[in-house]
Amino acid sequence: MIFNKTKLKSNRGFVMLFAVVLSAIIFSISLGMINISLKEINFGTSAKATNEAFFAADTGAECALFYDLVPTQSFFGSVDALTTINGINAMCGGSSINIVGETQLFGPWNFVVLGLGADSKSCAKVKVTRNLDSGTGALISTQVISKGYNMGGNTPNCSSTNNNRVERVLELTY
């Protein structure tokens, strides 16, 4: 067999170039798969955070409804309204809640429900507003705005500076 030395010398770097190109292709495919995996992990985490925030908002709204609509518990707008809800019932997360109102009789009333969620890190900020007829003073409607958060349940005012904090809002008017 006869070899042409000039042809061998001109093809010397081909194997090295082929190996580098093949490695680059495999590397870019791997990076794409890692990127997709990280996005799936973030999506799964955000779905959990969304559920925690929604259920916190729901708990806050249910607490307000419980203390407003149950005849023996009528709380908001009564002359002898207390400033603390004894939240031993499941509606209010099982702890006492301080009510802050601009006026005791006309509101709006604000309160925070802490220690909610699977890890007791969720919380809800609730505002109850009564719309009264200006002439007769009769109740027209009541609005409950409950903002649920997946983080902040360990602080007294439901605050957090975490970038992964999720907020969900429920607004009820009746």
pLDDT score for 67: 79
- Sign of the alpha-carbon torsion through 166, 55, 67, 89: negative
By percentage, how much of the chain surpasses pLDDT 90?
25
**CA atoms within a 13 Å half-sphere pointing along the CA-CB vector of 115:** 11
Confidence of residue 15 (pLDDT cuts 50, 70, 90): confident
Nearest to 148 by CA among 29, 43, 17, 59: 59
pLDDT score for 95: 65
Residue 15 has a CB neighbour count (10 Å cut-off) of 9
- Segment 108-130 mean pLDDT: 86
- pLDDT > 70? residue 87: no
Strands (E), the chain: 84-85, 97-98, 100-101, 109-116, 122-132, 139-149, 167-173
Name the DSSP letter for residue 95.
S
- Neighbouring-strand partners of residue 172: 144
pLDDT score for 7: 58
- pLDDT > 70? residue 146: yes
- Segment 124-151 mean pLDDT: 87
- pLDDT > 60? residue 22: yes
- Segment 52-62 mean pLDDT: 91
pTM exceeding 0.85: no
pLDDT score for 29: 95
Structure tokens at 7: 């042809």
- pLDDT > 90? residue 144: yes
Q: Render pLDDT for 88-118 as a digit per residue (tens, 0 to 9).
A: 555 676 666 767 656 566 678 888 888 888 8
Sequence ranges of the domains in the chain: 32-173
Cα separation, 5 vs 142, whole angstroms: 94
